């Protein structure tokens, strides 16, 4: 009977498909995870100046500019990497709990550091061969206790003290006499790392072509934009936005507002004159990509944070909330600038002397240079919690003083 026949056929096909699905799931669980981790850990930039016997000269880089060595090559490379500290020309830097893909000498080559002979790895089995161990406090779950005297353990943190997990740095084994160096955005760190927070850099080369932003500025039709993910904050920045929006239109995008119609950054550049660069906590030097982003996308940041902004950007490149007695005063000033293209355009004069970058890798250069510097004295932090929470200046938390 044809009907029964086709049903049997269908059952057979189903069984076949289920079989394939099961095999695929099994394969995924056993292999690729390991493989992906391995590839992630062994990205080696082609541009590296370090002689690397693991790579043959015939290998081609992939789209991202990386050569991905095969298993045998990785094993040979491991031997090279695990030579003792004095027998190799480079320093091995172990990223203990990183979520960043800072691998091999990639950031150093990208940043054109003066010293690039360091290799970053996240392979924890290389702990004893490492010269420097970078511990990201934010993602730290366990930490090494056996150490060699020459190794430098680095306290790495890009979040503010207010957003730091206190139970981690309260653990006495980590808190007292554990860290040798600090690497944070704060200017009193051994290594100042801004990384994806970005920076303004003074232009040394005067041959730069003048950009004419006049039509870009004239074309902007909207006043204030705010892209935001955390709708409520302890310092109640949202309350200031509410007050400001009683006097001028503030368009809120992101989790607490609407979605950008197209690309947020393009929209900022073409439509908006001002951007609310409000940090989620007010801590010394805590100036994040919220501030750098509008500078990149040709909008004027209105800052509200705990930093001395004059140390991060030239005068007249931003507007500070704290220079105004109230949200109404600020709104009045924004309306003055809105009416005068000339006054507004002055907020772009800094571009003649500064470049702005969304990725500042110079901290990695400093780390590699310091790893090679045998003249640096031994150092360790007696109490890292005290240093992070108080010694650099405390974060401000009482916003009722201002609004």
CB nearer ligand NAG, residue 148 or residue 390: 148
Which of 57, 58, 205, 262 binds ligand NAG (CB under 6 A)? It is: 205
Among 72, 84, 262, 375, binds ligand NAG (CB under 6 A): 84
Nearer to ligand NAG, 219 or 390 (CB): 219
**146 belongs to the binding site for ligand NAG (CB under 6 A):** no
Binding to ligand NAG by residue 375, rule CB under 6 A? Answer: no
Question: From CA 207, how far away is CA 99, in angstroms rounded?
Answer: 39
Specify burial of residue 149 (Cβ count, 10 A radius: 0-12, 13-18, 19+). exposed
Strand segments (E) across 78-171: 91-95, 118-121, 132-136, 152-157
DSSP 8-state code for residue 401? G
DSSP type of residue 49: -
Alpha carbon 339 to its chain's center:
37
Q: Are 136 and 165 in contact (CB under 8 A)?
A: no
- 3-class DSSP state of 340: coil
Segment contacting ligand NAG by CB under 6 A, of 112-120, 184-192, 326-334, 377-385 = 377-385
User: Which of residues 7 and 203 has its CB atom nearest to ligand NAG in the complex?
Assistant: 203
Query: Applying CB under 6 A, does 87 fall inside the site for ligand NAG?
Result: yes
How far apart CA 360 and CA 195 sit, in angstroms, is 5
Tell me if 210 contacts ligand NAG by CB under 6 A.
no
CB of 27 to ligand NAG, least distance (A): 41
Using CB under 6 A, which of the segments 41-49, 128-136, 195-203, 214-222 binds ligand NAG?
Answer: 214-222
* Cβ at position 147, least distance to ligand NAG in Å: 7
Q: Tell me whether residue 56 or residue 342 sits nearer to ligand NAG (CB atom).
A: 342
Exactly one of 5, 72, 207, 375 binds ligand NAG (CB under 6 A); which one?
207
From 10, 31, 150, 352, residue interacting with ligand NAG (rule: CB under 6 A): 150
Give the whole-angstrom CA distance, residue 189 versus residue 200.
19
Q: Residue 299 — φ and ψ, nearest 5°? A: -130, 160
In the complex, the smallest distance separating the C-beta of residue 84 from ligand NAG, rounded to whole angstroms, is 4
Residue reference for tokens 């004239």: 218
259 vs 378, beta carbon nearer ligand NAG:
378
Specify the length of the chain in residues: 403
List the one residue from 11, 332, 379, 386 that touches ligand NAG (CB under 6 A). Answer: 379
Alpha helices in 52-144 (DSSP H): 71-81, 106-110
CB of 314 to ligand NAG, least distance (A): 21
Bridge pairing between strands 152-157 and 132-136? parallel
Nearer to ligand NAG, 42 or 240 (CB): 240
> What x/- string results for residues 333 through 372 when contact with ligand NAG is judged by CB under 6 A?
----------------------------------------
| Residue from 35, 62, 171, 177 binding ligand NAG (CB under 6 A) | 177
- The residues that bridge with 157 in the sheet, in sequence order, are 184
Q: Is-contact 266 296, C-beta < 8 A? A: no
The phi, psi pair for 303, rounded to 5°, reads: -95, 145
> How many chain residues touch ligand NAG (CB under 6 A)?
19
Three-class SS state of 181? strand
Report how far residue 163's alpha carbon sits from residue 62's, in angstroms, rounded to the nearest whole number. Answer: 38
Q: Give whichever of 57 and 87 is closer to ligand NAG, judged by the CB atom.
A: 87
Q: Rounded to whole angstroms, what are the CA distances from 81 to 77, 94, 103, 177?
A: 6, 12, 13, 28
Site for ligand NAG in 218-257 (CB under 6 A): 219
Closest distance of CB 223 from ligand NAG, Å: 18
Distance from CA of residue 314 to its chain's centroid? Answer: 22
CB of 149 to ligand NAG, least distance (A): 5
User: What residue ranges bind ligand NAG (CB under 6 A)?
Assistant: 84, 86-87, 149-150, 152, 177, 180, 205, 207, 215-216, 219, 378-380, 398, 400-401
């Amino acid at each position: 009977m044809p009907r029964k026949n086709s049903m049997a056929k269908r059952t057979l096909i189903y069984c076949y498909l289920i079989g394939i699905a099961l095999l695929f799931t099994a394969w995924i669980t056993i292999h690729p995870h390991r493989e992906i981790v391995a590839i992630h850990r062994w990205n080696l930039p082609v541009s590296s100046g370090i002689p690397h016997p693991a790579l043959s000269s015939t290998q081609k880089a992939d789209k991202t500019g990386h050569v991905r060595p095969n298993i045998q090559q990785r094993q040979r490379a491991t031997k090279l990497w695990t030579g003792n500290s004095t027998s190799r020309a480079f320093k091995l830097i172990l990223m203990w709990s990183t979520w960043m893909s800072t691998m091999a000498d990639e950031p150093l080559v990208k940043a054109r550091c003066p010293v690039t002979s360091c290799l970053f790895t996240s392979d924890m089995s290389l702990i004893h061969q490492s010269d420097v161990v970078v511990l990201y406090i934010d993602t730290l779950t366990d930490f090494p206790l056996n150490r060699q005297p020459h190794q430098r353990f680095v306290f790495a943190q890009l979040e503010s003290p207010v957003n730091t997990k206190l139970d981690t740095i309260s653990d006495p084994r980590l808190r007292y006499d554990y860290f040798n160096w600090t690497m944070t955005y704060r200017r009193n760190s051994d290594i100042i790392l801004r990384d994806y927070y970005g920076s303004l850099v003074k232009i040394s080369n005067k041959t730069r072509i003048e950009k004419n932003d006049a039509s870009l500025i004239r074309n902007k039709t909207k006043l204030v934009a705010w892209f935001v993910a955390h709708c409520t904050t302890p310092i109640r920045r949202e309350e200031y936005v509410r007050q400001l929006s009683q006097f001028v239109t503030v368009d809120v995008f992101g989790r607490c507002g609407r979605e950008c119609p197209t690309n947020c950054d393009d929209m900022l550049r073409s439509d908006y004159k001002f951007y609310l660069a409000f940090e989620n906590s007010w801590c010394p030097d805590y100036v994040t990509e919220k501030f750098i982003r509008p500078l990149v996308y040709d909008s004027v940041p209105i800052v509200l944070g705990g930093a001395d902004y004059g140390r991060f950007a030239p005068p007249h490149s931003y507007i500070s909330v704290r220079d105004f007695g109230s949200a109404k005063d600020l709104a009045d000033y924004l309306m003055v600038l809105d009416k005068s293209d000339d006054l507004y355009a002055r907020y772009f004069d800094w571009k003649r002397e500064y470049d702005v970058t969304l990725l500042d890798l110079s901290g990695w250069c400093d780390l590699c240079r310091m790893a090679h510097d045998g003249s640096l004295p031994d150092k360790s932090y007696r109490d890292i919690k005290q240093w992070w929470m108080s010694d650099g200046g405390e974060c401000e938390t009482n916003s009722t003083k201002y609004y």
